[in-house]
Chains A and B, each alone.
Chain A
């Protein structure tokens, strides 16, 4: 076989001779490798259907809560394998795999800012501040799916009262744990870390706002925000910050991660509101995990008791 010699063709532009001579083998090789890889993936899934990161310790739950819904609780499997925890990867099943070795003990939470009694609490100290209740809440993600989770914790206002907020304090700023070493996937998330969130002080004082240490009777699995997180059932899920390390009382409205990332789509309040669409999808309905049909989304996710917090506010503007 002759390679045409033409002076105007640069040598690098010519298909290498070995590749040209072996093009059928090359093609067969590509096909072989592709099918091999696919077959391997299938075999791997056959052998190890799903990896689990479900180390839970039982918690002493003192009682049930009148705030609990009677709706059917979502399966533990779904709640622990369908997570948005971008520090551990952006795929829904990534956190269950990547948070397995996340170190959650020892752990402390620093409470500072405009308070009379600033203090750093260990998780164990926090758990002693009040009896732990089980609260079965609806949890609505901004991505239009929802779950029902039996959380364990107590009203966040218990902690606030413990540190005595000063009159100047108007907002509460929250910060998640972050370390590149433990969270190497975080650099691909496309949002800035550490993850930060915030509430108005009166929102944070509302008894529905839960300081949460567990779910399904045990401690929080790593992928669900261990060892301590917030749960705000009337707001979209991303407001409920996970793996909490810092709480600061402040005078001015604090930054919040998704608002910094895209302020048109994620506001400071982010109350569940079926009438105000996310610019890219409707919020009128949601898919409850485990159900086929979408169900209508309720105002404040059905927690009407918070409505008075927003009396007189235009919730289209304050989304």
Chain B
């Protein structure tokens, strides 16, 4: 699984080695790492619903790693912007974060991932206490939405990809609303989707 998560990076490295990063390598690396950040966020968000719907509680053991890979690709994406695209022109970057709404959204999403990555260890779960830790880690919902918005605002006219990620994030968040409603109505976790889900999905 760990190796599989490294495949996108390997592919980038392979393309770099063979000078096959398109005519605009910096843009290509930025787009690839950005895409994979969103993909890993979506996969991470899919773990809990998959555990419940497929009754595979043991999937939990992949969640931390997947989440950390989302952070890893996010970090690569962010560093590409800092180091390659802007070449450490801090004033220019600050101006962008303030002025360009799509960069503001992306930056927010990334910053919110930082505490999650830092507190991903067992030690931190103990220190924070399970409940507080869980509450903190719900920040990934905000990151997921910010990531989709970041992408949507960036593209010029062809919105298919950001809308696709947006639909996945919406579905995964809606499932959580469904689970939550189910739990509130006193049913055991894992009895799966409530009819209410359809209304939650449109919300």
Contact = CB atoms under 8 A, between A and B. Distances in A.
A13 B20 contact: no
A276 interface: no
Nearest to A27: B56
A23 B7 CA distance: 25
A141 B187 CA distance: 58
A233 B40 CA distance: 42
Contacts of B101: 280
B192 A42 contact: no
B24 interface: yes
Given A31-B1, A280-B100, A45 B20 contact: yes
Nearest to A82: B23
Interface stretch (A150-158, A188-196, A197-205): A188-196
Interface stretch (A172-180, A210-218, A281-289): A281-289
A50 B20 contact: yes
Contacts of B4: 31, 34-35, 38
A79 B24 CA distance: 11
Interface stretch (A62-70, A85-93, A128-136): A85-93
Contact of A189 (B96, B99, B158): B158
B183 to A, nearest CB: 15
A99 to B, nearest CB: 16
Interface stretch (A14-22, A111-119, A162-170, A299-307): A14-22
A81 B102 contact: no
Interface in A271-298: 277, 280-282, 287, 289-290, 292-294
Interface string B21-39: 0111011000000000000
Of the four ranges (under 10, 10 to 19, 20 to 34, 35 or more), the interface on chain B belongs to 35 or more
Given A42-B11, A77-B23, A280-B100, A90 B158 contact: yes
Contact of B55 (A20, A31, A282): A20
Contacts, number: 93
Nearest to A41: B11
Interface in B37-54: 53-54
A2 interface: no
B121 interface: no
Given A20-B54, A31-B1, A280-B153, A13 B193 contact: yes
B180 interface: no
Which A-B residue pairs are the 7 nearest by beta carbons?
A: A190-B157, A82-B23, A78-B23, A90-B158, A190-B158, A13-B192, A191-B157
Interface of A: 6, 8-10, 13-15, 19-20, 23, 26-27, 31, 34-35, 38, 41-42, 45, 49-50, 77-79, 81-82, 86, 90, 92-93, 143, 145, 188-191, 261-262, 277, 280-282, 287, 289-290, 292-294
Given A14-B192, A145-B24, A293-B87, 10 more contacts: A10-B195, A15-B192, A23-B55, A23-B56, A86-B157, A262-B156, A262-B157, A280-B101, A281-B100, A287-B27
